[in-house]
Amino acid sequence: MYRNHSIALVIPAYNEARLIVPTLKSVPSEVDRIFVVDDCSTDGMDKVVLEMQKDDSRIHLIRHTINQGPGAGIISGYKSTINENLDIAVVVGGDNQMPLDEMYRFLDPIIDDYTDYAKGNRFMEKGNAFRDMPKLRLVGNTIISLMTKISSGYYHIFDVVDGYTAINKRALQLVDWDSAWKKYGYPMDFLMRLNVEGLRVIDIPRRAIYLPGERQSQIKGLHYAINVSPMLLKNFIHRMIFKYVFSNFHPLVFLFFFGAFFLVLGLGVGFYILFEKFFHDIIPSAGITSICALFISLGAQSTFFAMFFDMQEGMGYQRNFGNYLTDIRKINSNPDHRSKKNNINKES
């Protein structure tokens, strides 16, 4: 228990027979249940976990008979958390890359009812990503984070591929996990589903651990960004339709539609002009050049206005770690307001 809340730790793992040991040994005593989800490993990891289970009764091994991906492992852990009626589920990898001594940063904003979902951000203060993260992964992470801002509707977040997260019971019960993305790219899909349900999300500063000589993250920068792009586009369309057509109509849907239409049309005309110039040596007329510029301008303006309105609509779901610390200090410094500590989200 931590601050009168039961805590589950979900550890999705695949072929982590060596690194799962230091991961489990570093689990704080406040964690009530440890769900290690073996995604059909072939290195005997399940035997290692069962051996450690003899010394730690909190450990529960969940086996997948076929390899389904890390997202599926997390979902299995979430479902076990729901079944055992635990209050909060924390997720870390089995590769000893996520410092569990920082787990309290993720738990406190949830327990104080400031947020529903807390995710790690290695680029914030106290993080070390700019210094230690491989440069190719840094570029890929940045591109994916920018795309996910638009796809998920959480424009205030970054480092979306970080798998260190915590989620409360309400969010666990609201999201349809059976339809969630189960392979790599799951963090971005989860964020979209949280946004559709109107849940609050906060970035938590945390440090990353990079062990020399160990294969840890399987994210390959730009290649990863390209692979998840179709899923991000699909999620964006789903969010637009569900939130701004079926749930609460907003004309920003039309702005996004017209923006995309005119951008594609303008770029198409632009490529046609370039093709004619370089392959047929035909100089474009002033009229067609003006039309191309007009289409691109209209498309860009419509898209930017749509993004602005989308940001405004999502302001209530955005949480800031710095603001959270400020609110907590104000409450703790004023005895008359300490009773409000569990309801500070209403004041933010």
What is the reported pLDDT for 215? 57
Whether residue 94 is found in the same domain as residue 160:
yes
CATH number of the domain within which 119 lies: 3.90.550.10
Say what the alpha-carbon torsion angle 14, 20, 24, 26 is, to the nearest 10 degrees.
-120
What tens digit of pLDDT does each residue of 188-231 get? 999 999 999 999 999 999 988 877 666 555 555 667 778 889 99
- 8 A C-beta contact, residue 151 and residue 236: yes
Query: Which H/E stretch holds residue 117?
Result: strand 117-121
Asked, for residue 334, whether it belongs to a domain, the answer is no
Asked, for residue 1, whether it belongs to a domain, the answer is no
Residue 299 tokens read as 């498309």
Whether residue 147 is found in the same domain as residue 292:
no
| Cβ partners under 8 Å of residue 61, min gap 6 | 36, 38, 46, 49, 50, 53
Query: Which H/E stretch holds residue 34?
Result: strand 33-38
Give the separation between CA 113 and CA 170, rounded to whole angstroms. 11
Question: Final residue of a domain: which of 197, 220, 244?
Answer: 244
What tens digit of pLDDT does each residue of 175-192 get? 999 999 999 899 999 999
The residue-averaged pLDDT of 334-344 equals 47
Whether residue 184 is found in the same domain as residue 79:
yes
What is the reported pLDDT for 344? 43
Asked, for residue 288, whether it belongs to a domain, the answer is yes
| DSSP per position, 130-163 | HHHS-HHHHHHHHHHHHHHHHHHS-TT---TT--
Question: Final residue of a domain: which of 196, 229, 244?
Answer: 244
Residue 159 tokens read as 């480092």
Q: Which residue has the tokens 């795309």?
A: 147
Confidence check: pLDDT of 341 > 90: no
Whether residue 230 is found in the same domain as residue 301:
no
Say what the alpha-carbon torsion angle 233, 235, 237, 243 is, to the nearest 10 degrees.
-150
Whether residue 240 is found in the same domain as residue 259:
no
In degrees, rounded to 5, the angle at the alpha carbon of residue 187 between the alpha carbons of residues 223 and 168 is: 170
Give the separation between CA 178 and CA 186, rounded to whole angstroms. 12
What is the reported pLDDT for 220? 59
What is the SS3 assignment for 166-206? EEEHHHHHHCCHHHCCCCCCHHHHHHHHHHHCCCCEEEEEC
The residue-averaged pLDDT of 153-166 equals 94
Domain extent at residue 49: 7-244
Asked, for residue 157, whether it belongs to a domain, the answer is yes
The residue-averaged pLDDT of 54-62 equals 97
Asked, for residue 117, whether it belongs to a domain, the answer is yes
Looking at per-residue pLDDT, the higher value among 78 and 212 belongs to: 78
Residue 130 tokens read as 């700019």
Question: Final residue of a domain: which of 197, 229, 244?
Answer: 244
In the chain, the number of structural domains is 2
